[in-house]
Amino acid sequence: MMNFHDLAESRKSMRGYDAHRPVPREILERVLDAGRLAPSAKNLQPWQFLLISSPEMLAKIRPSYERDWFQEAPHILVVTGDRQAAWVRASDGWNSLETDLAIAMDHLVLAAHAEGLATCWICAFDPVMLREALGLKPSEAIFAITPLGYASADALTRPKSRKALDEVVRYL
């Protein structure tokens, strides 16, 4: 099993999926469970994870992000949350929903990578189209989506680049 640093270092956004290789249910459930285990403000867990796998639902939501590689993924994971169910800081009314959902999404994509799956955290989707396709309640916010599946051979060869540590850290 990979240590956490190696996992974080090797994880990258994949833009290519094997459309003919669905992910076994037990692997999907381990990934989803990692999201469930994520911490949230006051442990309110204001999230819902929508796993889309049926051809009918995939056809409804794929137009919300029209990239060829997004159309290939056998599964699409949508992370939503209810703003009314999230913790609110009393002093200024700040709502923790986006922070809670970001932590859960990070758990999901890292767990997927640990299982040998590919993901690509996407926020550039059409929220109106996606909301309508999913039939969400007004209080439900769509935070992010990711294709979920096995990477195509060409996606695996794309390099990952990051700034040097001294460019992003200040020791005070």
Given this model, what pLDDT does residue 101 score? 98
pLDDT tier, 92 (very low <50, low <70, confident <90, very high otherwise): very high
What does DSSP assign to residue 158? S
Quick check: 58 pLDDT over 90? yes
Beta-carbon count within 10 A of 106 CB: 17
Q: Which contacts of 57-65 are long-range, i.e. CB under 8 A and separated by 24 or more positions? A: 57/133, 60/133, 61/130, 61/133, 61/134, 63/126, 63/129, 64/125, 64/126, 64/127, 64/129, 64/130, 64/133, 64/145, 65/122, 65/124, 65/125, 65/126, 65/145
pTM for this one? 0.94
Residue with the two structure tokens 């009918």 = 56
3-state secondary structure labels for all residues of 72-99: HCCEEEEEEEEHHHCCECCCCCCECHHH
The enclosing H or E element of 43 equals none
pLDDT tier, 21 (very low <50, low <70, confident <90, very high otherwise): very high
Tell me the C-alpha to C-alpha distance, in Å, between residue 73 and each of 10, 30, 88, 114, 130. Answer: 20, 18, 36, 18, 17
49: β partners:
79
Average pLDDT of the residues of the chain: 96
Q: pLDDT tens-digit profile of 126-135?
A: 999 999 999 9
Q: Cα torsion at 8, 10, 13, 16 (round to 10°)?
A: -150
Q: pLDDT tens-digit profile of 39-52?
A: 999 999 999 999 99
Beta-carbon count within 10 A of 159 CB: 5
Strands (E), the chain: 47-52, 75-82, 140-148
Given this model, what pLDDT does residue 106 score? 98
* Structural domains of the chain sorted by starting position, each given as residue range(s) with its CATH number in brackets: 13-155 (3.40.109.10)
Given this model, what pLDDT does residue 44 score? 98
Quick check: 27 pLDDT over 90? yes
Arithmetic mean of pLDDT, 64-81 = 96
Percent of the chain's residues with pLDDT above 70: 99
